[in-house]
Amino acid sequence: MESLKFTSLIPCKASVNLIPTTKFVNHEVIGQVGFVPLWKRSTRPALRLRAQVSGGSGGAQDGASALEDQREEKGVLLGAETDSSGSVIGFNLIPSNGELKVLDSPPEDATSDRVDETEDIDGKEKSKAKVTRNIVFVTAEAAPYSKTGGLGDVCGSLPIVLAARGHRVMVVSPRYQNGAAADKKFSGALDLDTHIKIYCFGGDQEVAFFHEYREGVDWVFVDHPSFHRPGNPYGDSFGAFGDNQFRFTLLCHAACEAPLVLPLGGYTYGEKCLFMVNDWHAGLVPLLLAAKYRPYGVYKDARSVVVIHNLAHQGVEPAVTFKNLGIPPEWYGALEWVFPTWARTHALDTGEAVNILKGAIVTSDRILTVSEGYSWEITTVEGGYGLNELLSSRKSILTGITNGVDVVEWDPSSDVHIASHYSADDLSGKVQCKLALQKELGLPIRPDCPLIGFIGRLDYQKGIDLIQSGMPQLMEDDVQFVMLGSGDPLCEDWMRAAEATYKDKFRGWVGFNVPVSHRITAGCDILLMPSRFEPCGLNQLYAMRYGTVPVVHSTGGLRDTVLNFNPYAQGGQGDGTGWTFSPLTKESMLAALRLACRTFTEYKPSWEGLMKRCMERDFTWESAAVKYEQVFEWAFIDPPYVG
């Protein structure tokens, strides 16, 4: 009989197959902030063992018999797993002592320093990371489960790419239940039957975990009644939810416990994790690592990277709420925030508050922004929103990386939402997309008339006021304009009025519709983005991928990604991918738009060159992931923050 060797412990990726299903015992919280660790468990799900047979084809059957003979010594086998050919590939084992065990971390060879080159199904080499890590994304939203903007796109795409490069990746996000059709997006997530108690806001708060393994990523959803209500993740038609600090405090505490208590695929992520902390909603995580865990020897090898998607939102609440956060009182200074005199509500207001994003910036190991330009802007008085001095003091660990785009969803050669497919080698389909869009919107079908588009929120940040003030002058030109967005009710009413005023030139679509956004991106000639500030911006990246030339305000990620057109460069061949304008005025915006329209109308070869250069730009998540991995390496060079 051929010899049977156990080479590794291989996890069952579907948590529903863990044998048996175990509900963890909730630990009683002791002390003022409940630091009794929740990660010590006496019952664990069973392991799955994969056997490797040396020798001929009959070894699998003999190996199974050998294991059955040893069941009394080694434990109880709950049946062998076989592949389609009948070969045994694994066994479910309960040890003989009756105690169900799970590894606290992957086998040594599962997460290690390595260089891998694997082949995908097309036979092409697919690069792997040199150093693979256990990465935990903590975020308020992750597409396709929840999304209100760029944050959801990033946390729905980047983890998948990092997992494909060899990392073990978990995303921790709330399980929103709105009582609407969107709830079906969570239907694939199964209850892990794991409940923990979190001490915060004056008592024990019980949360549960749901899990879905999809595209190589563990998607973990924190379940609590506060996440079950109509609206978006942050508010409803009446404004922001009044208990957002409570809701996202739960998220942060639960995210810190998840790598320790959830045996995803048979073993936990363990303590040596890299936490990706996205915006203020996850901002308590670095502080909890330093104040709640490391003093007790837990997470001493973990690191945290805070990713700032929008510095304007910082999670500021009255100072009296600090006691609710489950953090020792001596750590108040990390969150302390004092409003300047001019920003206080009355003469007796001391301006004292807690600022969660500030605490994350103070205690994290690295700081990231979603573009290089934005990493500089947030260190200035104009762009720092009161945190510019703090960010300047930590400039040595501040890095900007431009977001990528989902090249599968946003691909003009295969997009299911557009009328005709096209590519940089064959642009004929773009004209068909334009004609189809004009027909759909009821505009005169004119292929030679410049069609300008805008997609985004209708608010002050996006420069809607400039569009409003400049529209009468722009409508005097031979152009067409289409807008898609929602937000300020007054702006929505203005869009309806503009459509009635300029019947043959303007169309406004109030609301947001994914298929329509794809058709506008493909059908327009020019995309306008007059944002006051833009940490990264995705619409200009989508537009360039579809050969739609962007005209943008020179700020943040827009300045980084749009290269100003120069018709005389390259020996008259031209260079650049669009137009940037500054200062942010109606006059400079109109001048840039008119120059773009004139180029489209009078200089067709130059315009075709612009379109092709746009489509050839590399804004893939694969390119961004390599830069993220460099930041991961830097984060682990220095010791973690301990206060």
- Confidence (pLDDT) at 565: 93
Q: What's the mean pLDDT in 244-272?
A: 96
Q: Contact, 535 vs 374, CB < 8 A? A: yes
Q: How is residue 275 written in tokens?
A: 């936490």
CA distance linking residue 485 with residue 566, whole number of Å: 31
Identify whether the C-beta of residue 314 lies closer than 8 Å to the C-beta of residue 355.
Answer: yes
User: What are the tens digits of pLDDT across the range 486-537?
Assistant: 888 999 999 999 999 999 999 999 988 889 999 999 999 999 999 999 999 9
- Closest C-alpha among 570, 514, 526, 582 to residue 551: 526
Give the pLDDT score at 126.
61
Q: Which residues pair with 564 in a beta bridge?
A: 578
- Quick: pLDDT tens for 584-643: 999 999 999 999 999 999 999 999 999 999 999 999 999 999 999 999 999 999 899 877
- Residue-wise pLDDT for 443-464, tens only, equals 999 999 999 999 998 989 999 9
What is the mean pLDDT of the segment spanning 42-50? Answer: 37
Whether residue 522 contacts residue 425, with contact meaning beta carbons closer than 8 Å, is answered with no
In sequence order, what are the beta bridge partners of 316?
A: 355
CA separation for the pair 130, 118 (Å, rounded): 13
Rounded distance between C-alpha atoms, residue 554 and residue 231, angstroms: 34
Gap between the Cα atoms of 247 and 224, Å rounded: 9
Note the pLDDT of residue 571.
63
Using alpha carbons, list the distances in angstroms from residue 552 to 453, 592, 610. Answer: 12, 9, 15
C-alpha R_g of the chain: 27
Q: Running DSSP on this structure, what letter comes out for residue 345?
A: S
Q: Vertex 139, ends 138 and 145: CA angle to 5°?
A: 120
Tokens of 24: 């963890």
Distance CA 357, CA 361 (A): 6
Contacts of 458 (CB under 8 A, 6+ apart): 464, 485, 486, 487, 488, 491, 492, 495
**Residue 526 pairs with which residues in a beta bridge?**
452, 549
Q: Which residues contact 272 (CB under 8 A, 6 or more apart)?
A: 105, 134, 301, 302
Say if residue 53's pLDDT is above 70. Answer: no
**Measuring CA to CA, which residue among 184, 259, 167 is closest to residue 220?**
259
Ordered by where they begin, the domains of the chain are 134-368+397-404+627-637 (3.40.50.2000), 427-618 (3.40.50.2000)
Q: Tell me: the pLDDT tens digits for 345-400? A: 888 888 899 999 999 999 999 999 999 999 999 999 999 999 999 999 999 999 99
CA 537/CA 15 separation, integer angstroms:
37
* Range of lowest pLDDT (58-72, 76-90, 316-330, 344-358): 58-72
Distance CA 600, CA 597 (A): 5
Over the stretch 105-129, which tens digit does the pLDDT of each residue have? 454 444 444 444 444 434 445 678 8
Global pTM reads 0.78
Which pair of structure tokens corresponds to residue 25?
A: 């015992």
**pLDDT at residue 42 tops 60:** no
Element housing 622 (H / E) = helix 621-637
